[in-house]
Structure 1
């Protein structure tokens, strides 16, 4: 699998990167950085640090991209992940430096180089991808599969009642991407809240592992765990990691359906809400596969194995790239 990860590296984004970096048969072509969770330069530094922790310093390039949403002021989530995005660990800079090429230029070039054989996992606001579509509408058709962590299937949000953070930050970008005819799977906050939470017992198990990866995990998730308690969530949340796990192991996605999805850009209380037309009332053909259920038990086992051994137990796909 030739993989690009588009990320706003903080909190669970870090864990998602670790899953991909520790799956031997995955070729990570590059990591692209998009405005999102915390200050942009911290996001770049966090991606570089995670690559180093995975033992692959200098082997995976990092491309800085959009520093701001298309039309709106940036909204950060440092209150969730800590100011540095790493649980306020304040790790020193690493030796690897980011690439000078802009993420959007890289996305377009890579989509040509690996046309029909490129998977993108997008776990940030969708500004980089929207800009790539605007520059070259054929970009969407060259991508084998786009996995999007964002939105919610007409269910609860995590920044406003019906709005998930990634789509809320740049709803116009999300609207462009959903209109671009990608072969796409949307993994919403609703499924992630149901199937990706590591509870106190899970976190105690991770503490007992006492490996370099488990210690890194616990540090980077520290502030998120504290924030979640204020929201009634007893544990850490892993929407990006669940999405990555699905991309690597499709058996984790246990129920899905094709629907037409549109993104609300005008609503007073529904900015960035993903409207999933489950009844077919809007009269449009489906433009995304929408996740409805996931195997949380298998997801947790894969994550635990990676933290314990430094390798995921995921076998390469026998039927080609999803």
Structure 2
């Protein structure tokens, strides 16, 4: 598999990178950096730290991209991950530096040079992907597959009752990407709540591996674990980005999925960033309201994932 990962690297984004970097048969062609979880330049530092932790420093280029959403000021999630996105670990600056070039241009160049070969995992606000599409719309057909971590599946969000962070931060970009014609799969916050929790016992077992990568994982995960326990009242920590990467790398982990019509709300006062997902329980559009326009399904929405298989994949990456 040839892979590009677009990321606002902090916390679980790091573990997603580690899954891909440690998986035999996977070539991470590039890591592209978007605004999001913490300070923009810190995202790059965290991606570079992940490369070093996986003994891949200097092998994978890291490109800086969009520093802000299309229409609103940047919004971070340092309250979840710490000011540096790494549980305030104070990691040393790595020798590798970001490569020259803009992330969106690199996505376009790499996809168009290898049509049908590149898979892209989008685990940040979708600004870089939208910019790449606007610069070269043909990437929608040339990309092998687009995996998006974002939105909810008729469930509660993690910023507002309606919206998950990645879509809430830049819904205009998300709407462009969702409607661009990519072959696309979504792992939502709803699915993360169902299958993306690592329990305290599992986290202890990972730490007990005793490897440098396991120690790195435990250190970086401290603040988000505390947030999950104290604010979300969970018995462990949530891992939406790593969950998305795991199923992108091994679709055998998908136990249930459904093709759906999805779109993103950009205008609502209470629902801005809401991911609308069609549901089989709804009547046909012509029955409910003949004025509505029937649309074909445009995304595969992942409904259920092998939780033990996900844990095993992460464990293997930390050995």
TM-score, normalising length from structure 2? 0.95
Q: Which residue of 2 aligns with 1:71?
A: 71
Find out whether 1:225 has 2:236 as its counterpart: no
Unaligned runs of 5+ in 2: 286-291
For residues 23 and 196 of structure 1, the distance between their equivalents in structure 2, rounded to whole angstroms, comes to 19
Q: Which residue of 2 aligns with 1:250?
A: 251
User: What does residue range 168-187 of structure 1 map to in structure 2 within 5 Å?
Assistant: 168-187=168-187
Q: Which residue of 2 aligns with 1:100?
A: 100
For residues 102 and 38 of structure 1, the distance between their equivalents in structure 2, rounded to whole angstroms, comes to 19
Structure 2 residue matching 1:218: 3-state secondary structure = helix
Q: Which residue of 2 aligns with 1:289?
A: 300
Q: Which residue of 1 aligns with 2:55?
A: 55
1:206 Cα deviation (Å)?
A: 1.6
User: What does residue range 206-225 of structure 1 map to in structure 2 within 5 Å?
Assistant: 206-225=206-225
For residues 119 and 149 of structure 2, the distance between their equivalents in structure 1, rounded to whole angstroms, comes to 14
Q: Which residue of 2 aligns with 1:263?
A: 264
User: What does residue range 20-169 of structure 1 map to in structure 2 within 5 Å?
Assistant: 20-169=20-169
Which piece of structure 1 moves more, 74-83 or 229-238? 229-238
Cα deviation, 1:253-282, whole Å, max 9, x if unaligned, reads: 111111110101111111111000223545
1:306 Cα deviation (Å)?
A: 2.0
Runs of 4+ residues deviating >2 angstroms:
279-282
Structure 1 residue matching 2:100: 3-state secondary structure = coil
Q: Which residue of 2 aligns with 1:19?
A: 19
Contact kept in structure 2, 1:6 and 1:32, CA below 8 Å:
yes
Which piece of structure 1 moves more, 133-142 or 61-70? 133-142
Cα deviation, 1:154-199, whole Å, max 9, x if unaligned, reads: 1111111121100000000000001100000011011111111111
Contact kept in structure 2, 1:2 and 1:114, CA below 8 Å:
no
Q: Which residue of 2 aligns with 1:202?
A: 202
1:17 Cα deviation (Å)?
A: 0.2
Q: Which residue of 2 aligns with 1:303?
A: 314
For residues 117 and 306 of structure 1, the distance between their equivalents in structure 2, rounded to whole angstroms, comes to 24
Contact kept in structure 2, 1:245 and 1:299, CA below 8 Å:
yes
Unaligned runs of 5+ in 1: 310-322
CA root-mean-square deviation: 0.9
Q: Which residue of 1 aligns with 2:289?
A: none
Contact kept in structure 2, 1:32 and 1:64, CA below 8 Å:
yes
Contact kept in structure 2, 1:261 and 1:287, CA below 8 Å:
yes
Contact kept in structure 2, 1:80 and 1:227, CA below 8 Å:
yes
Structure 1 residue matching 2:258: 3-state secondary structure = strand
